[in-house]
Amino acid sequence: MAPAALLGTGAAAALSSPAAHALGAGSPAKSGPGGGSLGDPVFPVLGNTGYRVSAYALDFTYLADTKLVEAKAAVTIRTTQDLSSFSLDLLGPEVHEVWVGKRRAAFEQQPEKLVVTPRTTLYDGTRVTVRVHYSADPRKLSFPYNGWVPTDNGFATAPQPDLARTIFPCNDHPSDKADFTIRVTAPDGLLGVATGSLVRTDNNAGTTTYTYRSKHPVATELIQVTVGDYKVVQRTGPGGMPLRDVVPVARAEALEPALSLTPGQLGWIERHLGRFPFETYGILPADTDAADAFDFTGLETQTLTIYKPNYLLQKESAIGSHMMHELVHSWFGNLVSPATWADLWLNEGHADYYGLLYRYERGWPDSLGLTSLEARMKDVYSRGDQWRKDGGPVASPTAANLFHGQRYTGGVLVLYALRSLVGEEVFQRIERAFLDRYRHSSASTRDYIALATEVSGQDLSGFLTEWLYGTKTPRMPGHPDWTVTPPTQAARREASGAKDGASATLCCSSHA
């Protein structure tokens, strides 16, 4: 199968009007079909115009005998133009029927879009719920083109970056965050868990339905839904914050040393970034040892980070830095989501920055044997031109190199340069102000540059633009002796594009 990010370019073009807007520009106020693309620079097929989503109500029923999922999605939208038809992102599941409001609607499943034609035009400003009944086979598509993580007795989800559309029909772009209510029905003996807080449990003949509700908006790529032979381990974080880990029953004792680290990690990062921004946090070691279950070690699905379980069986010095990396995403990536996927460095650069600080404060050597941020940044700086050649500028990724080390340690280098220029106190004010201004929404690289200029009181636009978009590595403030090694033709192995190996917080381990 062709890469999912490339499959539906023709379908997207067919849905998009010539006036398809750039992200954030607003939809054209005219009658007609909505556009089938939000114009993301990395994944142009993602997202749809003509409406915004305010809420999703998802209902998943896991059938243990067939390992299939029967599902319903109720998507509440508000139109931003008169719509004769519109599309939702969907890849893989089989749709059975669609309703717009109280009336059945015509629909067509295109390669990556579900095109819906209501019986009458939806006028600009209309608030309506679109209900889609569908079924899915978590094993039908193979990773990396499947957001489902199949397990022996259920499933989990891994929607980042563009795979929520394989799980439910949606406006699959982080710029359109929404409220979520998720119902999970599982056979007796299995547990259903999802993003948010448990608000209701209903026991039926042979099954139990668990209902979860998010207290804050969630980007589609951050949704977690899981069914399996799990138990919930509850503990208390700083200030009485409720924590919950969802742990395979057979592995619970072995995983406890790693899971018990979270309260202390929370205390450390809250001193840097402020109070934890969501209702709960926890870890889901997915109950699978399949090497190709997902192409990462941990993924920051909101309120419940999914991990490869065997990774967490190592000693603290091998896993603590990366656990901090994933925890930091609760602020950078979840609280403030990227406006486009070209802004991924805001997520990954900050997660690696604080993850490395956490490592070096504890004297744990990194994967290069270095024990200080300055030493690691000097090494990264020397590779700067090579990385820019192999992975592009930090804030200019493509779909092929999105998870290159440039977005991770390359992003750390940008933050280190900024801190070196403005000083620690101003840098921390920039970080807090950015999180406060864009909390529970999305922000772009340009937003970060503008805010840094505002908070610092000096024009940082040229400085940060050169660091983030330049093809050559700028001079490092305070380190005139640092040098950059000229690039070679061959790509450097240390900066390869595999998501699992891109983060500098991964160290001294073999990743299952």
Residue range 354-364, pLDDT digits in tens: 999 999 999 99
pLDDT of residue 25: 39
> Which one is predicted more confidently, 409 or 499?
409
**What pLDDT, on a 0 to 100 scale, did the predictor assign at position 141?**
73
State the average pLDDT over residues 140-150. Answer: 80
Which pLDDT score is estimated for 291?
80
| Stronger pLDDT, 17 or 185, i.e. the higher one | 185
CA angle at residue 392 from 390 to 395, to 5 degrees? Answer: 145
Report pLDDT for 144.
60
Q: What percent of the chain has pLDDT over 70?
A: 90
Tell whether the model's pLDDT for residue 189 goes beyond 60: yes
- Mean pLDDT estimate for the chain: 91
| DSSP string for residues in 13-25 | HHH--TTPPPTTS
Q: In this model, does residue 510 exceed pLDDT 50?
A: no
- Is 473:385 a contact under the CB 8 Å cutoff? yes
Query: What is the per-residue pLDDT across 63-72, written as a single tens digit (0 to 9) for each?
Result: 999 999 999 9
- Write down how long the chain is: 512
pLDDT-derived band at 489 (thresholds 50, 70, 90) equals confident
pTM for the complete prediction?
0.92
Q: What is the DSSP string of 310-357?
A: GGGGS-HHHHHHHHHHHHHTTTBTTTEEESSGGGHHHHHHHHHHHHHH
Per-residue pLDDT at 479: 97
> What's the CA gap between 487 and 377, in Å, rounded?
18
**What per-residue confidence (pLDDT) applies to 17?**
31
How confident is the model over 394-417, as a mean pLDDT?
97
Q: Which residue has the higher pLDDT, 372 or 3?
A: 372
Q: Which of 146 and 439 is assigned the larger pLDDT?
A: 439
